[in-house]
Structure 1
Amino acid sequence: MHRSAPRLSRILACAAVPVMLVAVGCSSDSGSDGKKNAGSSPSGSASAKPSEPTVEPAKFSDLPDPCGAIGKKTVEDLVPDAKKKGGTAGQSSDLSARGSCSWNGLDDKGLKGSQYRWLDVGLTRFDSDQALGSGAERATADYTKQIAKAKAAEGATKVAAEATAGIGEEATVVTYGLSKTDEDFEYATVVARTGNVVVTLTYNGAGFAGGKKPSSADMVEGAQKAVKEAIGAVEKTAEATPPAKGEDKDADKGTEKAGDDGTKDSADSGDEDSPKEKAKATPKS
């Protein structure tokens, strides 16, 4: 009985050996993993990527009232007997990004015929955007787009385009003729840019009931006078401060112009009486 006790102790001691080895093995593995984890910590985090250069802030952060962008005297001179002296504003979901206004009228001269005139101005502002570019760059792209659009007017004849100085930072005059409602219209469209704002102005007219068709030179002169006032209104009333950080009012969405960009502004527009029908009215005594 006394000899069995030492033997039992030796058995228990041998049985404990594998447990210790396992424990040692686990401890060794843990240390190895710890070293691996320490060694695998991203060394690249210490050297951050260089930040992208910020775009130039937009010059203008607002637009003037388009119907007030052209002086009343100028409207009276260019559109005699305008149906709405204050103009017809176009629909817009954001007047700080896009706005437009139009005027039209028929000056009935009795037996001497009648003169129809249409004037339309559109203002479009672009914000600076890190992904899309500066407001000025986006406006320059739209400026080119609007010139191409004017030159591609459906049914236009004798189309000509010429850069003109003294209007904003850049401006182009597009002229052409267009026959509609059995009358010959003369068109002058001026596209101008100042900073991050594009102004597109169309002036056209025709003679009715024997009235003489206006000359292209007269249309250009009138259009240039009006667009200079519109550019001046932008530079005077728009806030020349950068927009709020992160602001991105996309001027290409959610807006509509009054009329049809000056290309469908003939006698049969909207709620207006046809200039041709007015011209057929009883002559003034």
Structure 2
Amino acid sequence: MSEGTMQRAAQSDQRDPRTKRAHRVLLGAAAVPLMLVATACSSDSGSSSDDNAAGAGQSTESSASVSPSPTVQAAAYKSLPDACDTLSKGTLGDLVPKASKSGKQGKSDDVATRGSCSWSSLDNNGVKGSQFRWLNVSLLRFDSDVTRGEGDKLAQEYYAKQVQDAQSVEGAKNAKTEPVTGTGDQATLVRYDLKKKEGSFKQQTLVTRVENVVVTLDYNGAGLAGEKTPSADTLAKLVKSAAKEAVASVTKANTGGGGSGSTGETSPSPSASKSASKSASKPASPSASPSKSTAKKS
């Protein structure tokens, strides 16, 4: 292009302002769609974020609303037999031969969970002295609880505590502890000598657990007023036999086999003891049980 031509074009632009205005309008019109597109994208992005946040909140609330309630396995045994009916007349005749026909039951505010019965025997031989025997059977049943745990676990803890208490009696001499097989799910015998003013007592405490029930038998004997002290081995053999029978009574009461709680629904005798921890009744004899209570509340 010649210099003259270029000069004329420049002059033409200067002379015609409409050309410049049209140029600016075209540029502005092109910018508008770009702004609209940017605004739309920004708006869509915010809506998506809000929707996602709302969805997450609803999911959390839904998850919380369907959370399952805590559960615990139900206890196996629902009732107890009458404590005074746990042993047969023949067994009682061996352990407490001169006892009254019926045992002495304690009071209870919850007969479905605790009971006890005691028997005392005094074979008076006049100037030759007397043979004394005392027996107490305590029953304690544990229900499952969502805060405390399963019934059989609670029974295991109480069983261990009962054994420990029997091993820590003040004044006990020649103490021995031995496991007992074939009796419930767990069984332990604690035996020792205890000197009292009336004579030398041979104490046997057998603690056994079957499912969610703990059975504690306290049995002791003494020769009074010069009578010969009974054999600890003989007493131990007798209490082991009685423990098996007591466990069988508990099982029978919860399996429809008869007894005061034979259906697993029927409540035992209202004369069951108030507490396994206070079940040991004082025998009407020269001496009460020499051991401290081995049936305390859990």
Is TM more than 0.5 here? yes
Counterpart position of 1:255: 274
SS of the counterpart of 2:178?
A: strand
Distance 2:115 2:135 in 1: 15
1:45 aligns with 2:61: yes
Counterpart position of 1:117: 133
Counterpart position of 2:75: 58
Distance 1:117 1:164 in 2: 22
Q: How many residues align?
A: 225
1:149 aligns with 2:165: yes
Give the letter for the 2:81 counterpart: P
Pairing partner for 1:274 from 270, 273, 286: 286
Counterpart position of 1:81: 98
Gaps of 5+ in 1: 1-31, 245-253, 277-285
Distance 1:153 1:70 in 2: 26
Gaps of 5+ in 2: 1-46, 257-261, 266-272, 289-298
CA 1:273/1:214 → structure 2, altered by over 3 Å: closer, same or farther? closer
- The alignment-based identity, stated in percent, is 42
Offset of residue 260 of structure 1 = 6.1
Distance 1:203 1:149 in 2: 15
Distance 1:67 1:196 in 2: 20
SS of the counterpart of 2:245?
A: helix
Counterpart position of 1:17: none
Counterpart position of 2:151: 135
Pairing partner for 1:72 from 84, 89, 112: 89
CA 1:259/1:115 → structure 2, altered by over 3 Å: closer, same or farther? farther
Distance 2:242 2:224 in 1: 24
Give the letter for the 2:232 counterpart: S
CA contact (8 A) 2:142 2:154 kept: yes
What's the RMSD between the two structures over aligned residues? 2.9
SS of the counterpart of 2:201?
A: strand
Distance 2:114 2:279 in 1: 15
Distance 2:115 2:180 in 1: 24
Distance 2:98 2:203 in 1: 19
CA 1:273/1:141 → structure 2, altered by over 3 Å: closer, same or farther? closer
Offset of residue 181 of structure 1 = 2.2
Counterpart position of 1:187: 203
| TM-score normalised by the chain length of structure 2 | 0.68
Counterpart position of 1:26: none
> Which stretch of structure 1 is more off in the superposition, 48-57 or 231-240?
48-57
CA 1:258/1:55 → structure 2, altered by over 3 Å: closer, same or farther? closer
CA contact (8 A) 1:90 1:258 kept: no
CA contact (8 A) 1:187 1:204 kept: yes
Counterpart position of 2:110: 94
Distance 2:187 2:197 in 1: 31
Distance 2:130 2:150 in 1: 47
